[in-house]
Every structure is written in C-alpha cells, then in structure tokens.
Amino acid sequence: MSSFDAGAHLGDALSALLDDELPVAQAAQARAHVAECPTCAHELAAVTQARAWVRALPPVEPPFGFYARMLDDRLPVTAAVGPRFDLRRRAAVAALGAAAAAVTVLGIGSPAARPVSPTVPRLVEAHATSASVGADLLSKLAPMGVPVSFGR
C-alpha cells in the first residue's frame, strides 16, 4: 500500500531515503517520486549536500596538554575566565584582517586577543615529515610512530 499520496511531498522521508533508513518498497516509491518531482529533487540535493559537509568534518585536535589534564584529575581541565568570546564578532574581524594577512611576517604582529593552543602533536608530525625529505628515513621518520604526548 502506497504511503505516499501522489501530490504530497516527501519531506523528512528524503533524509531517510538518503540514509538508507527506508524499507525497500518505500525507498523505491520515494525514488520514483523524486524522479518526477523537482521540488523534492531539489530538497534531496540540499540535504545531501548538508550531509556531505558534516561528514567531511575532520577530527578535532584537543588543546595542548588536554590528555595530561584528563588523566590527572587533580588539575583543572579549563581555566576559562572572563566573558566567552563572541564568535560572530571574531569572524567579522577575521574577514577584515584576511587581506592584511596576505603577507605574513615572522615575529611581528598586532596584539591578537584570541587565545590559541598550538596543536603540538600535529606540528611535530608536520616537522618530522618535512624534515625526512632527502634525509635518513629511519632517524627522521621512525619517531613519528610514537604518538606525541606529555603525561604525568
């Protein structure tokens, strides 16, 4: 029995179709509908794009020292004091500064307010890979087999 009225649009069934969460028969009907309905085709394309973007998000590296603090629960995990930074305003300034950032200078800079935590393991990996080019692989590269951590 058809669940879909010929005139009605699929709505959230489109996401279910995209995620393979529709039973086989319903999925077939949904696909048939999408083939004939530009509105639903457009909506399916939109949620497909949104899903692709979220799925493409990379893993996030925690701030330097996070693991050590996690395992040593005597230390506070965060030391956030003062007002939380308003991200919209920060984005606006970043856009303004983008043109000025075309030339980057090592060692000079206007005082930047944003706290930043160097993602040290990533930097170590970047260094070790670049330094291994044209050099003895074992010396330069083997240490990368050990995850960088600064523990207790």
Partner 1 sequence: MSGSGVPTWEDVAREHGRFLYTVAYRLTGNSDDAQDLVQEVLLKVRRGLETYRPGSMEGWLSRITTNTFLDEARRRRRRPLDLLPEEPDRVLPPQPGADIALAAEALPDDVQDALRQLPEEYRAAVVLCDVIGLSYQEIGESLDVPVGTVRSRIHRGRAVLRKVLE
Partner 2 sequence: MTKRAVAAAVLLAGLASPLPATAGGPEPLEKARYAAEHTSFEGVLEVRWRDRDQMRSERLHVEAGGGSLIVRGANLVMARPQFGRLLSHGGGGWEEMWLPSMAPAARPDGVRKYRTTPAVDGPAVAGRPTRVVEVHRGATLLERLYLDTETNLLLERDQYDPNGQVVRQLAFESLAIDPTAPPPSLPKSAAKHAPKRVDADRVAAPDALADGYERIGIYRSAEVLQVLYSDGLYDLSVFEQDGRLRRSDLPPAAEQVAVGDAPGWRYAWPGGQLVVWAAGGKVFTAVSDAPVDQVLTAVRSLRPAPSRELSLLGKIRRACEALMEPLS
Contact residues: partner 1, CB under 8 A: 8-9, 11-16, 19, 21, 38-39, 42-43, 45-63, 66-67, 69-71, 73, 77-78, 80, 84, 87, 91, 117
Long-range CB contact pairs, 86-91, < 8 A, 24+? 90/114
* SS3 state of residue 23: coil
Neighbours of 30 (CB within 10 A): 21
Measured from the CB atom, is 28 or 66 closer to partner 2? 66
Measured from the CB atom, is 46 or 135 closer to partner 2? 135
Q: Which does 28 bind (CB under 5 to 8 A by kind): partner 1, partner 2, none?
A: none
Q: Which does 25 bind (CB under 5 to 8 A by kind): partner 1, partner 2, none?
A: none
Residue 123, by phi and psi: left (phi above 0), alpha (psi -120 to 50) or beta?
alpha
Q: Which residues ranging from 48 to 107 are in contact with partner 2 (CB under 8 A)?
A: 58, 63-66, 68-69, 76, 78-79, 81-83, 85-86, 89-90, 93, 96-97, 99-100, 102-107
Give 53's contacts (C-beta < 8 A, 6+ positions apart). none
Q: Which residues ranging from 105 to 124 are in contact with partner 2 (CB under 8 A)?
A: 105-118, 120, 123-124
CA distance 25 to 101: 55
